[in-house]
Structure 1
Amino acid sequence: MIRLLAYLVAICAPLPALALSCAEPSVARGFHAASAAPETYVVVRGRLSFDEGALPKGMTDPAPPKQTKLPARITGTSLSMAGFIHHFDREITLEVLCFGPWCGGAVDGMGVLAFVEKADGRYTMTIDPCGGFVYPNPSEDQINTIQQCFRGESCLLD
């Protein structure tokens, strides 16, 4: 009887809260990861446009999809050795990943600094719960850092 009571107490006790722990976003770390990847990336600074209503619901959905692909557009400039000078206005696929109940997110019209994958003439921007290769509303420090990294100058990991 005592074992049954102990078992019932154990299964009724509150479970520890689960949390997702993400590293501090770093464009230098993103640059090194993208440079080491077999995929080809274009670094873009611009505005993201898409239908926010199509985003996965994450914490309010008991089983959000692991991956959601949405049509989107980025309008801005891409990075070259001379800086962000090349016009970039493309239809892209916004790939939103979920890790359990946590999903990547974005806001229609938000400014981004992003590593956009280019494959077979198509562009894909992937965002996960920790951000991935997308930096919302980039600061001037982030812009300066990515330009330095791209030119082969100091690109220290945080």
Structure 2
Amino acid sequence: MKLSEIKQILETAETVRFKLDNGTLVPEHFHVTEIGVISKHFIDCGGTVRQEKVANFQLWDANDFEHRLKPAKLQKIIALSEKVLEIEDLEIEVEYQSGTIGKYDLGFDGHHFVLLAKQTACLAKENCGTPKQKRQLSELETPCCLPDGNCC
């Protein structure tokens, strides 16, 4: 979900509720303790230099049991962050404490913002030596490689 999407949802939302993709609710008394930009400049295993940027929201489950973050308050926090940090319309990554600080993508199911599990992946599969997917000879486009072909 991009920053523009959460802002649009907050325009008509009555509450701000989060849950994990397994259905576990983030306690209602959570705080948004940070909104920022995280930049990552790295080289992948295939030797390609890459850059990524995300808008980062950090949720904190405080012992402030009466606290409820209202949509208008979150809109103000986002607007201030955009102004001061010059945040672009980036994808949102959410940090939330589980066994350790977990990083999640953000979705919306019509009622709750959903913390979606992120997965690692190789960005250079063609260059780094990961196992190639086996294909049947009959799937190949070049008929000369078939047993009855004329290439040998």
- Tell me the TM-score normalised to structure 1 length: 0.25
- Tell me the TM-score normalised to structure 2 length: 0.25
